[in-house]
Amino acid sequence: MSTAPTWDAGAAAAFYDAYGEREWTRFEDGTTPSSSLAAHVAELRRFVRAADRVPDVGCGPGRFTIELARLGARVVAADISPGQIALHERYVRQAAAEDAVERRLVCDVLDLSAFPAGAFDATVCFGGALSYVLDEAPRAVAELARVTRPGGHVLVSVMSLVGTTLAAPGGVPALVGLFGAPVVREVTTTGRIGSEHMNGHLALRMFRAREIVALLEQHGRVVATRAAGIFRRGETGCDRALLDELELDLGAEPGALDLGRHIVAVLEVGA
């Protein structure tokens, strides 16, 4: 068995500084299934109201900040990468959404001490942040819940173990050919995969749906779950609007929760 990977904030910041524009273009270039965006935005529309104060934690270049601005929310943008924060300002300004942004800051999801308890009506942490902090995810969720008022909502997404495994090009035989059966077993058992198996990408923790639900339930009640990115990357020959429609319909089925590239879940924070 390999040594379990650990969270390295400096490495994560450097990685996303270098990753740059690719974090913005990933929905268009097929890196992330385009319909995944619709699934995430659907939950924003359900749980964020006009005039809500919302931190966009792990904001990247602003994809979800722009959606929050369209809903009338006031946004605090936070990311571990200074480079992504710089891109965030550029893209948000291009989208004419800058008036919605109260503040931008560089910070780690494990330390939201810049914000007092209950400071926000809803908190958003979409994408990879909770997966990249690996075994520190409980601490990160505790911070997201702490800064959200009782009765408010924490909206998260994490990388899906089942969906990612099923979507591997060439299937399990290809994974075994690349990494060997012991590594495949270890990854599917623990959800953890090191950077040495990711072509230099950050080490990460993938989740089963029941695992992220159990983690959130320590801080209140889970009120929504859905799969995101249930179709193949780079799906072509089909109208994007139809893919979005099918994603919103099929991805909300309980039996589909583990089948996307991401799992979206919404916590209602307890008193």
| SS3 sequence of 96-134 | CCHHHEEEEEECCCCCCCCCCCCCEEEEEECCCHHHHCH
- Rounded CA-CA distance 194/206 in Å is 11
Structure tokens, 145: 């819940």
When the pLDDT of each residue in the chain is averaged and rounded to a whole number, the result is 94
Q: 240 versus 102: which is more confidently predicted?
A: 102
Within 10 angstroms of residue 19's Cβ, the number of other Cβ atoms is 18
Residue type, 161: L
Local structure of residue 149 (DSSP, 8 states): E
In DSSP notation, 14-79 reads HHHHHHTTHHHHTTTSSSS-THHHHHHHHHHHHH--TT-EEEEET-TTSHHHHHHHHTT-EEEEEE
- CA-CA distance, 101 to 89, in Å (whole number)? 9
User: Could you tell me which of 156, 177, 182, 170 has the C-alpha nearest to residue 39?
Assistant: 156
The CATH class that applies to domain 9-269 reads: alpha beta
Whether the CB-CB separation of 140 and 110 falls below 8 Å is answered with: yes
As a whole number, mean pLDDT of residues 104-119 equals 97
- 23-27, 44-48, 50-54: which has the minimum mean pLDDT? 23-27
- C-alpha 66/C-alpha 59 separation (Å) is 10
Is the pLDDT at 59 greater than 50? The verdict is yes
pLDDT of residue 4: 76
Angstrom distance (rounded) from CA 35 to CA 32: 9
1 pLDDT band, cuts 50/70/90, is: very low
pTM (2 d.p.)? 0.95
Q: What percent of the chain has pLDDT over 90?
A: 83
141-196 pLDDT, tens digit each: 999 999 999 999 999 999 999 999 999 889 999 999 989 999 999 999 999 999 88
CA distance 71 to 249: 22
Q: For the segment 32-47, what is each residue's pLDDT rounded down to a tens digit?
A: 888 899 999 999 999 9
pLDDT (mean) for 88-102: 98
